[in-house]
A and B are shown apart, each in its own frame.
Chain A
Amino acid sequence: MTLLQVSNLTIEDRLGTALVDGVTLSVDRGEILGLVGESGSGKTLACRAMMRLLPGDGLAIRGGEIRLNGADVLAYDDKRMMAVRGREIGMIFQNPASHLNPVMTIGKQIAEGRRWHFGASRREARQQAIELLRQVGIPDPARRVDNYPHEFSGGMRQRAMIAVALACEPKLLIADEPTTALDVTVQMQVLHLLRDLRDRLGLAVILITHDLGVVAQTCDRIAVMYAGRLCETGGKRQVLGAPRHPYTRGLIECQPSSDGGVGRMVTIQGQPPLAQRFPAGCRFHPRCGRATTECTSIQPEMRVDPGTDNHAAACHHAVSVTNRGMVHGQ
């Protein structure tokens, strides 16, 4: 059942450059969607738009639709939007150290959501804060509840931030690079926690990351973004196992293989374009080995591969399941 449906979302800056251009996404209940892309690809911006919290000024949603449980979120007034934020959609961030208030105890910050959204009493909220800390795996939560953020380690801070978000009981959690700033072992624990929460609470998660390894371990479906546009969406196995868009293929080849394979690291040549200098046609064409004149002028549409249920790619030369062998032979 679809929880959040984003259609044709377009976000422009003051100069009218489309930093996010016609993005269509959906998340089901209890599903983990991985949103993958390099920094500057617009993935964070798209998710901020879902909460109508675009950073800085001059950025605005210029087109498209965001439907939460079928209701048009873009039509909400500020008051109704406040009831969506936290309560319907929660958010956690890359750097928990700066996203937690340094002079408020962890417990108070968790309790604040209970008191604000559910009108819990001070004592109830505190008990629930301790319970939430236990749920996210903080040892000795009854004592830790009175600690300040700087007294927590990096991994514990991320857990605490998850607890702060969970306190509002959201249906959807947007996790913006939640593990990038953490050690590898702690990364694993946090990702495991997210999956665990999905299983126990039926939470839907949008996991923003540039790390395909994280996606492979955690997600059910994947959406890949490049320069503000979507290039490929589909099930995890489909996208990672049989990528149809050249950019996705490049990304997969860039990942250092986990078995420590020999061979040299493959990289995608060139740099992602700056927002002011997005190329015409397919935005990936200057870096694409298969680009033709068609690619330099005509923007490719997202097309579902006929051989699959919903594996879509925006490429004039998208690899189809049926003709894969041919391309491999090129």
Chain B
Amino acid sequence: MHRFRFVLWRPIQLLPVLFGISVLVFVMVRSIPGDPARILLGVRSTPQAIARIRAQYGLDEPLWLQYFYFLRNLMNGEMGKSIIYRVDTLKLIDSRIQPTIFLVLGSVLLAVLIALPLATGAARYRGRLADHAIRLISTIGLGLPAFWLAIMVILLFSISLGWFPVSGYGSDWAERLHHLFLPCLTVALALSAVLTRNLRASLLMELQNDYVTAARARGLSENRIFWRHVMPNSLIPTINLLAVNIGWLIGGTVVIESVFAIPGLGQLLVKAIISRDYMVVQGVVLVFALATVAVNLIADLLTVALDPRVKL
């Protein structure tokens, strides 16, 4: 009963954050020095276009009114036109979002597949050689620059072994999978370092708990205790960790998409920044922020589903 109320209540609690995000994005673009109309339209804009955008965004009105124009345009799905691509920003984002989504999902999946056995091994053989080795590897993994790791992975798997394409995205599903594997692996290697360290720590903490002693006293095997009792308890903080890291993960994909020339949102953002395509910068930043909020919301709801103790 009250747990379902949480499911309804949580999104409402997010409204101030959403409001803050929109204000921050608005302020960001407006704080660029110069005539906002020229900034949004680029240097080679016609007087008619400037007049149109002045009216649409209320650029002659006071700032707080401008914010409402901005919000109204946003609600209507109006994010302005890209000065480079000459299309609506929303359409542009729509055409670029798919590779990024798959990249993020694939990376999380691979990272969990890597981190789960490593953390399990390290926790169950605590203090032994395997534990030390896994801890050392994950510490090194924390400091691996994604862009460099990507190039090294390309060098090994694409150039030397020829197993995967060097860059690009592909047109059908099999090709896309083939193209996305190395980028996903790169992000996953970095992410799994964080995951392994944290999951190991939380597994070790749970293993100290009294309910483990009680389970042993009931004659359950170490395997059963570990997988049925310790693991579910340890996964709850790990899911939250994943959610906290989603922002970091999106940052990683921005870089990785640039290295592998994947036509996703990250590459779009970097190109837009370099070419001062501010409408696109604003749109992509907004989408990334909304995605982060959404993922955290999902993680909150997942925690409620998994942990019966969570209070409102």
User: What is the interface of chain A, defined by CB distance below 8 A to chain B?
Assistant: 51, 53, 55, 82-87, 90-91, 93, 95, 98-104, 112-113, 116-117, 148, 150-151, 161, 164-165, 168
The residue that A148 contacts in the complex, of B220, B229, B236, B309, with Cβ under 8 A, is B309
A83-B219, A117-B219 known; A102 and B309 CB under 8 Å?
Answer: yes
Among B196-218, those with CB < 8 Å from A are 209-211, 213-218
Cα A51 to Cα B217 in complex, Å, equals: 7
Collect the chain B residues with CB atoms within 8 Å of residue A82's CB.
219-221
Collect the chain A residues with CB atoms within 8 Å of residue B216's CB.
53, 85
Collect the chain A residues with CB atoms within 8 Å of residue B229's CB.
101, 104
Cα A215 to Cα B307 in complex, Å, equals: 39
A116-B220, A117-B219 known; A150 and B308 CB under 8 Å?
Answer: yes
B233 within 8 A of A: yes
Contact present for B219 and A98 (CB under 8 Å): no
Total number of B residues with any Cβ neighbor in A under 8 Å: 22
Contact present for B219 and A116 (CB under 8 Å): yes
User: What is the interface of chain B, defined by CB distance below 8 A to chain A?
Assistant: 209-211, 213-221, 224, 228-229, 232-233, 236, 306-309
Chain A nearest CB, measured from B216 CB (Å): 6
Cα A113 to Cα B217 in complex, Å, equals: 11
Chain B nearest CB, measured from A153 CB (Å): 15
14 contacts between A and B (CB under 8 A): A55-B213, A85-B217, A86-B219, A90-B217, A91-B214, A93-B210, A93-B213, A98-B209, A100-B214, A102-B308, A104-B228, A104-B229, A104-B232, A164-B218
The residue that A168 contacts in the complex, of B209, B210, B213, B218, with Cβ under 8 A, is B218
Cα A95 to Cα B236 in complex, Å, equals: 23
Collect the chain B residues with CB atoms within 8 Å of residue A161's CB.
214
Contact present for A98 and B211 (CB under 8 Å): yes
Collect the chain B residues with CB atoms within 8 Å of residue A151's CB.
308
Contact present for A168 and B211 (CB under 8 Å): no
Contact present for B219 and A85 (CB under 8 Å): yes
Residue of B nearest to A151 (CB): B308
Cα A53 to Cα B213 in complex, Å, equals: 8
Contact present for B309 and A98 (CB under 8 Å): no
Cα A150 to Cα B236 in complex, Å, equals: 17
Chain B nearest CB, measured from A126 CB (Å): 16
Contact present for A101 and B219 (CB under 8 Å): no
Residue of B nearest to A105 (CB): B308
Contact present for B233 and A101 (CB under 8 Å): yes
Contact present for A91 and B209 (CB under 8 Å): no
Contact present for A85 and B218 (CB under 8 Å): yes
Collect the chain A residues with CB atoms within 8 Å of residue B215's CB.
101
Chain A nearest CB, measured from B234 CB (Å): 10
Chain A nearest CB, measured from B147 CB (Å): 40
Residue of B nearest to A101 (CB): B211
Collect the chain A residues with CB atoms within 8 Å of residue B228's CB.
104, 112
Cα A51 to Cα B213 in complex, Å, equals: 11
Chain B nearest CB, measured from A254 CB (Å): 29
Collect the chain B residues with CB atoms within 8 Å of residue A112's CB.
218, 220, 228
Cα A95 to Cα B211 in complex, Å, equals: 10
Contact present for A103 and B306 (CB under 8 Å): yes
Collect the chain B residues with CB atoms within 8 Å of residue A117's CB.
219
Cα A98 to Cα B216 in complex, Å, equals: 14
Contact present for B219 and A103 (CB under 8 Å): no
Chain B nearest CB, measured from A181 CB (Å): 12
Collect the chain B residues with CB atoms within 8 Å of residue A87's CB.
219
Residue of A nearest to B214 (CB): A99
Residue of B nearest to A165 (CB): B218
Collect the chain B residues with CB atoms within 8 Å of residue A83's CB.
219
A102-B308, A103-B232, A148-B308 known; A168 and B214 CB under 8 Å?
Answer: no
Collect the chain A residues with CB atoms within 8 Å of residue B306's CB.
103
A98-B209, A99-B210, A101-B211 known; A91 and B217 CB under 8 Å?
Answer: yes
Residue of B nearest to A174 (CB): B217
Contact present for B210 and A113 (CB under 8 Å): no
Contact present for A99 and B219 (CB under 8 Å): no
Chain A nearest CB, measured from B218 CB (Å): 4
Collect the chain B residues with CB atoms within 8 Å of residue A98's CB.
209-211
Collect the chain A residues with CB atoms within 8 Å of residue B220's CB.
82, 86, 112, 116
A116-B224, A148-B308 known; A99 and B211 CB under 8 Å?
Answer: yes
Cα A239 to Cα B224 in complex, Å, equals: 44
Collect the chain B residues with CB atoms within 8 Å of residue A100's CB.
211, 214
Cα A120 to Cα B190 in complex, Å, equals: 44
Residue of B nearest to A79 (CB): B221
Residue from A84, A101, A103 having most chain B Cβ neighbours under 10 A: A101
Residue of A nearest to B211 (CB): A101
Chain B nearest CB, measured from A191 CB (Å): 20
Collect the chain A residues with CB atoms within 8 Å of residue B307's CB.
102-103
Contact present for A103 and B210 (CB under 8 Å): no
The residue that A102 contacts in the complex, of B219, B224, B233, with Cβ under 8 A, is B233
Cα A151 to Cα B210 in complex, Å, equals: 18
Collect the chain A residues with CB atoms within 8 Å of residue B232's CB.
103-104
The residue that B219 contacts in the complex, of A84, A93, A104, A148, with Cβ under 8 A, is A84
- Beyond A53-B213, A103-B306, A103-B308, 5 additional contacts (C-beta under 8 Å) are A51-B217, A53-B217, A101-B233, A148-B309, A165-B218
Residue of B nearest to A161 (CB): B214
Residue of A nearest to B235 (CB): A103
Collect the chain B residues with CB atoms within 8 Å of residue A104's CB.
228-229, 232
